[in-house]
Structure 1
Amino acid sequence: MAHYMPYAFCPGEHMAWSDYAERAEDGPSTRILQALAEENKMVIISTILERDENLEDRIWNTAVVIDNHGNYLGKHRRNHIPKIDNPNEPTYFCEGNTDHPVFQTDYGRIGVSICYERHFPLNWLGYALNGAQIVFNPCATIGDQMETLWPIEARNAAIANGYYVCAINRVGTEIYEHEFETDEGVVLHKDSGSFFGSSYIAAPNGTRSPGLSRTKNGLLVCDIDLNMCRQIKDDRGYGAFERSVLYSDVIKEAANSHKSQIITKY
């Protein structure tokens, strides 16, 4: 089960909203969900506004993983923080420093790729390299452009990386007490826009479940066979023919020197 924080952003970057930030390890959200996880024998992923008191009180967009015994397993802090008009997330979220953790649970090895991270293929790859069998992608996503990508990205990630992807999106619209503002203080609106839901599960063989409603809350229950993760990789030869060293070399060169390998024939 994946749970998304009860608000999407910090409207207008008002510092008062930072009061919602809490510790991942033992904050109020974690404590409440630990009891529910143990009672219902389920793994729960809870995305929160995390405050790290041991690191200069920094604030992160964090996913907390709680196992089916009610234990806090660990957390993932979102790697990619977008600066796209408004909301201006870098004014309150720090870029994550947890890389691509994979958590061993009684139900399989799971990773969490938070919201905007789904747009980056190498981010998905990180969880595959660390052994994930299921990757959850909790989102708070709106907009026509995002909705056209929604049925494709998680499914493509499942196929390319040989694991299941649970694509989770909110429904409804948040109404804020105060107007949503830009950095310059220009009043824009008092709502979040409409989250389009449509949550689904994608399998490594390219199949997917039906999607949930665009407008109503729902619960998606799906039987999955984790053996498929290994079987697909074996059948398609991914393990035998993937050249990770080749990829790491070109990425390292591009990151360090912006060296181009474009060849022009004169």
Structure 2
Amino acid sequence: MAQEATIQISCAQFEPRIGEKNANVEHSLALIETLAKDGSQLIVLPELCNSGYVLESREEAYDLAEDVATGETIDAWTKAAADRNVTLVAGFLERDGVKLYNSAIVIGPDGVIGTYRKTHLWAAEALFFERGDLGFPVFHTRFGRLGVLICYDGWFPEAWRLLALQGADIVCVPTNWVPMENQPGHLPAMANILCMGAAHSNSMVVAACDRVGTERDQPFIGQSVIVDHNGWPVAGPASKSEPELITARVDLSQARRQRNWNAFNQVVRDRRTDLYGEMLGTTAQPNWY
């Protein structure tokens, strides 16, 4: 399995419709086909893009949920990944027994690679979802090591750092960013700033795919972005209000090669693990070297 690669990454920013799962999935498949034909090898879709986001009841949530093994959305995306020879990271509403999760699936040409469950729930999500219980897994793909966060997870530096310490070259972020109070109009969205800071301070590529539109009175801010390992945007931010496909070519191997900022400083090595735990109290194993 090649662990160094220049790949083409895309984020498919669009507007899912609440409850219209079949239409949402069909639209996502059309976007995957378009991006794959254009040469993209890794495609990121928004958070809960098969179901919509603003749920009104647990009954509605259960009706829209599906499990990984038998879900029709997962089946459709798996076929698309195989047919188009791409890797997908996409948000979906997961059911595991009686529990519901705000999750993201990672699917390669050979099938499902793994699942991430949102760790930090935002606002009314707590009425419907369990907090993620899978930790911060890093998935091995044919082009490198891939981590996943979902939306509000990106506000926690511990989440980014734990992925970096496990060797993630890229972090994909399916998201439904909402307006932040007191956001200055002349500055980038806070979500974009957080992605840039995390990429820079951990030497990782970040691909964050948001949605647009207003759903049950909740507006979303778009501005999907792809950031290189130095922390600078290489695609986007996308439109604040319109669907948009953004694409960039990145060399993921540079995220490993260039963690040295100068002759003295290396972002992971310079941590003061004599003063705080190397893995921040988790049982994950470091794999950054």
TM-score category of the 2 structures, normalised to the smaller one: 0.7 to 0.9
Question: 1:121 maps to which residue?
Answer: 157
Is 1:227 equivalent to 2:263 in the alignment?
no
Deviations 1:35-85 (A, max 9, x none): 1111111111121111112xxx1111111110133x111101111113x3x
Instruction: Pick closer, same or farther for the CA change 1:129–1:22 going to 2, 3 Å.
Output: same
Give distance in 2, aligned partners of 1:151 and 1:8: 20
2:279 and 2:243 map into 1 onto residues whose CA distance is 44
Indicate which of 160, 174, 177 corresponds to 2:201: 160
TM-score, L = length of structure 2: 0.73
Quote the offset at 1:194 in angstroms: 2.1
CA contact (8 A) 1:48 1:64 kept: yes
Q: SS at 2:159's partner residue? A: helix
- Describe how 1:10-89 pairs up with structure 2 within 5 A: 10-11=55-56, 13-53=57-97, 57-69=98-110, 71-82=111-122, 84=123, 88-89=124-125
- Contact persistence 1:198–1:211 (CA under 8 A): yes
- Tell me the number of residue pairs that the alignment of Structure 1 and Structure 2 aligns: 227
Is 1:172 matched with 2:213? yes
**Change beyond 3 A, Cα 1:108–1:19:** same
Cα distance change of structure 1 residues 20 and 245 upon mapping to structure 2, 3 Å threshold: farther
Q: What residue ranges of structure 2 are gaps of 5+ in the alignment?
A: 1-42, 282-289
Distance 1:128 1:249, change over 3 A: closer
- Match of 2:221? 196
Distance across 2 between alignment mates of 1:81 and 1:162: 26
Q: 1:241 to 1:216 in 2, by over 3 A?
A: same
Distance 2:225 2:92 in 1: 22
TM (normalized to structure 1)? 0.79
Quick one: which amino acid aligns to residue 39 of structure 1? Answer: D
> Is the Cα–Cα contact under 8 Å of residues 77 and 97 in structure 1 kept in the other structure?
yes
Cα gap change, 1:245/1:7 in structure 2, threshold over 3 Å: closer, same or farther? farther
Bigger radius of gyration: 1
In the alignment, is the contact (CA less than 8 A) between 1:25 and 1:74 conserved in 2? no
Q: Percent identity?
A: 29
1:232 Cα offset (Å): 2.2
Per-residue CA distance 1:83-106 (angstroms, 9 max, x = gap): x3xxx2112100111101111111
State the SS of the aligned residue for 1:48.
Answer: strand
Measured at CA, do residues 3 and 151 of structure 1 come closer, stay the same or move farther in structure 2, by a change above 3 Å? closer
Q: Secondary structure at the match of 1:196?
A: coil
Out of 238, 245, 250, the residue aligned to residue 267 of structure 2 is: 238
Larger helix proportion, structure 1 or 2? 1
